[in-house]
Structure 1
Amino acid sequence: MNYCIHRSTSLLLLLLCAACGNGTPAQPETAPSQPELRTAPVLREEIYEHISGMGVIRARQEVELSAEISGRVAALHHDIGDEVRTGDVIVELESESRLIALEKKKAQFERARAQLDKSDRDKNKAEKLFKDGILSDTDHDSATLGAAVSSADLQLARAELRAAEKEYRDTKITAPYSGTIALRAVETGHFVTPGQCLLTLVDLSGVTIVINVAERDISKISLTSPASVSIDSLPGETFSGTVKTIARKADDTSRSFPVEVWVDNKDRRILPGMIARVSITSARPEPQLTIPNSAVASVHGETIVRIMLDGAPVMRAVELGAVLGERVIVRSGLEEGQQVVLPDTM
């Protein structure tokens, strides 16, 4: 009986071994492989940087024409939008009373000149008679004084004549330079006073834009540096400009430097008051740190990149500058040679 049990047990073991021999052996479990991180180095490159800013367009020249005398507007020879040339009469005030006053001053001047001629002859005659001992000291002094008084009277008459001539000229308000009438503040028949603005004249052959440049960028700009200008109200167009002036003192509040850019406007399409975006090319290349645009991300409103540190990616906040095609300037937060992680492996 015991033999049968032993034999049965041995048979069972043989069957189990055979079953195991015919099966596939179990494989050990392995951890999933980590994707290989793609990186790019932080480079230091010589770059012509672009310094950007926004500003309001102004006419190259703009002046408010005003009256220098009181009077009633007799005629408006030009209106808003008209082109005028230097010296063109734009507004004319009533001039009849001033013309009459001018004629009177001319007559007074001629009378004073004639009186001086007579006084000079009398003086010369008195000098001769005095030398001959015929004329007394009193009469000689009287003749000399008369000539001096007549000379002073002529000078006074001449000054009054010039004043009358100016008043008459001032009845005509003329263009100080060639330009366009931008605004008009009076109508025919209005009474105007000295200093009152009558109209605004602008020179639209060129326009200017003033932008504020940060202290760290002002040394990168020089006079005649080229600029690119885009205007919100003229979408899809870019205009060429040139740096005309650079402030020699920073604004006390913003600590920035006003820089004036001139833009040609021969077709008169750019108008004062429009908003312009200006990009000035630096005067010379500057060494700048750059990274690929694709390495930059935004986390909770903060600009960050991921860099490799001790073999692992870590986030690093950065301050960026201008975008240069597929790369961007890094102003702070990174060092040359560091490796930034590219987005498809983050």
Structure 2
Amino acid sequence: MRTNKSAALHSTMHRVFLSGLFATVVLALVVLAMGPLSLASPAVAQSSAPPVETETARMAPVVKQLEISGTVSTPQASQISTSVEGLVSEIHYDSGARVKQGDVLLKLDAELQEAAYAQAEAQTKRAAAEVKDAKRRLKIAETLAERNYGPKNEKEAREAEVDIDQAALEAAKAEQKRRAAILERHELHAPFDGVISERMAEVGQWVEPGTAAFELVAMDKFRIDLPVPQDYFAQLQKGTDVALKFDALPGETVPAEIGALIPVSDPDARTFTLRVLPLRKSLPIAPGMSAQVIVRLNTGQEDVVVSRDALIRYPDGRVTVWVLEEKDGETKVKEQRVEIGLAFDNLVQIRSGLKAGQRVVVRGNESLRDGQSVRLAS
């Protein structure tokens, strides 16, 4: 019985010994394997450093950039009506139609006016014939007077007759012209190029002067009027750098110019109206659309600037940048607090905390640690 127990104990101790020996061998192999890596640890650490993109802080003129919302409008938008009363007989265009200046939009029933014009035209022809006949008789009277035939006052009577008939002809011509103008006014013409935004007339409807039949809006020469604080009135003038952004053109900036400064707009709000004109033609915009006006005012100052992407903002109001440093043969980063100023053109003015020539991280700066090694992204 004792012999069996001794044999079991001896077997157990043998297995423990073998396990320990195996573990020792494995550990030795691991140490040997890691030996060369441990000698190259700086290179390994550098290669495993997170990649970052950088830029150099530089001096640049500081620009004050205003972004103000405005509304697209057009200098030509009107409700047009006929200049004579009448019954609508034809309508040639509906809402949304694009028309050219002079296009006939509608016609009124002109049957009676056509008859009146024809009568005036006939009267003019009759008066012209009477003038011609009176001049013929005057010529005869002049011939007789030269030969001393007939009454002495015959020539004067014929001359008076010509004058009377000539006056009647002028009156007939004027009446014909008046009738032609009335007849022409039975057609409503587009006063300018544009789009019909609304049609208010119907065939068979009786319309009168002053009652709108169409609303016509010009689709060119757009302008944007916007209220601007009076503090900027002296700084704005023609030639100031301005640009436009529209929701209809996402991500696109349209060059523009100042069209007018209207001094008194809202005295209670202490604002004036700035009128901006886009310099690009055929824009896919319409009156009533919103627009973002970007005004760049030169401050006359020069300061350190970096890209907006270099800034790290904290909830407590702190603003920092990650500055690159060369230390022990490695590129490391250091968090540096800065005081910022004006923002413009995707740049930010740095009032303090950073000098021109220092390199800052602009990509990959979201989760860096102070003193951490980094590598420059290719």
TM-score after normalising by structure 1: 0.65
Secondary structure in 2 matching 1:238: coil
Q: Deviations over 1:293-322 (max 9, x none)?
A: 8699999xxx999xxxxxxxxxx9x9x765
Is residue 260 from structure 1 mapped to residue 276 from structure 2 by the alignment? yes
The aligned residue for residue 226 of structure 2 is 211
The aligned residue for residue 7 of structure 2 is none
Residue 242 (structure 1) shift? 2.0
Letter matched to residue 271 of structure 1: A
Unaligned runs of at least 5 residues, structure 1: 1-42, 306-315, 330-337, 342-346
The aligned residue for residue 97 of structure 1 is 112
Is residue 69 from structure 1 mapped to residue 114 from structure 2 by the alignment? no
Question: Which aligned pairs between 1:45-64 and structure 2 lie closer than 5 A?
Answer: 46-59=61-74, 61-64=76-79
CA contact (8 A) 1:58 1:208 kept: yes
Out of 263, 266, 276, the residue aligned to residue 291 of structure 2 is: 276
CA contact (8 A) 1:206 1:266 kept: no
Is residue 229 from structure 1 mapped to residue 250 from structure 2 by the alignment? no
Alpha-carbon distance between aligned partners in 1 of 2:148 and 2:304, rounded to the nearest angstrom: 109
Is residue 287 from structure 1 mapped to residue 300 from structure 2 by the alignment? yes
The aligned residue for residue 247 of structure 1 is 261
The aligned residue for residue 202 of structure 1 is 217
Residue 236 (structure 1) shift? 3.2
CA contact (8 A) 1:126 1:140 kept: yes
Letter matched to residue 107 of structure 2: E
Secondary structure in 2 matching 1:276: strand
Out of 95, 99, 102, the residue aligned to residue 84 of structure 1 is: 99
Q: Deviations over 1:146-182 (max 9, x none)?
A: 1111111111111111111111111111223332111
Out of 337, 342, 346, the residue aligned to residue 325 of structure 1 is: 346
Alpha-carbon distance between aligned partners in 2 of 1:263 and 1:137, rounded to the nearest angstrom: 80
Alpha-carbon distance between aligned partners in 2 of 1:211 and 1:46, rounded to the nearest angstrom: 27
Is residue 127 from structure 1 mapped to residue 127 from structure 2 by the alignment? no
Alpha-carbon distance between aligned partners in 2 of 1:106 and 1:203, rounded to the nearest angstrom: 39
Letter matched to residue 348 of structure 2: R
Residue 323 (structure 1) shift? 4.1
| Counterparts in 2 of 1:217 and 1:152: CA distance versus 1, 3 Å | same
Is residue 158 from structure 1 mapped to residue 173 from structure 2 by the alignment? yes
Q: Deviations over 1:262-288 (max 9, x none)?
A: 364636x42211222211345xx4414
Alpha-carbon distance between aligned partners in 1 of 2:343 and 2:127, rounded to the nearest angstrom: 76
Secondary structure in 2 matching 1:194: coil
Unaligned runs of at least 5 residues, structure 2: 1-57, 320-338, 355-378
The aligned residue for residue 24 of structure 1 is none
Out of 163, 178, 193, the residue aligned to residue 193 of structure 2 is: 178
Alpha-carbon distance between aligned partners in 2 of 1:164 and 1:145, rounded to the nearest angstrom: 29
| Counterparts in 2 of 1:290 and 1:189: CA distance versus 1, 3 Å | farther
| Counterparts in 2 of 1:239 and 1:44: CA distance versus 1, 3 Å | closer
| Counterparts in 2 of 1:47 and 1:123: CA distance versus 1, 3 Å | farther
Secondary structure in 2 matching 1:116: helix
Alpha-carbon distance between aligned partners in 2 of 1:67 and 1:146, rounded to the nearest angstrom: 42
Question: Which aligned pairs between 1:102-113 and structure 2 lie closer than 5 A?
Answer: 102-113=117-128
Moved more, 290-299 or 125-134: 290-299
| Counterparts in 2 of 1:106 and 1:241: CA distance versus 1, 3 Å | farther
The aligned residue for residue 238 of structure 1 is 252
Quote the RMSD (CA, aligned, Å).
3.7
Residue 227 (structure 1) shift? 1.4
Letter matched to residue 287 of structure 1: G
Q: Deviations over 1:22-75 (max 9, x none)?
A: xxxxxxxxxxxxxxxxxxxxx995345444332221235323221010001111
Moved more, 89-98 or 200-209: 200-209
Letter matched to residue 243 of structure 2: A
Residue 216 (structure 1) shift? 2.9
Identity %: 21
TM-score after normalising by structure 2: 0.60
Alpha-carbon distance between aligned partners in 2 of 1:140 and 1:91, rounded to the nearest angstrom: 55
Residue 192 (structure 1) shift? 0.8
Alpha-carbon distance between aligned partners in 1 of 2:296 and 2:133, rounded to the nearest angstrom: 75
Residue 107 (structure 1) shift? 0.6
| Counterparts in 2 of 1:52 and 1:115: CA distance versus 1, 3 Å | farther
Alpha-carbon distance between aligned partners in 2 of 1:116 and 1:223, rounded to the nearest angstrom: 66
| Counterparts in 2 of 1:241 and 1:49: CA distance versus 1, 3 Å | same
> Matched residue pairs, number?
271
Q: Deviations over 1:128-153 (max 9, x none)?
A: 33343334454332211111111111
Residue 258 (structure 1) shift? 2.9
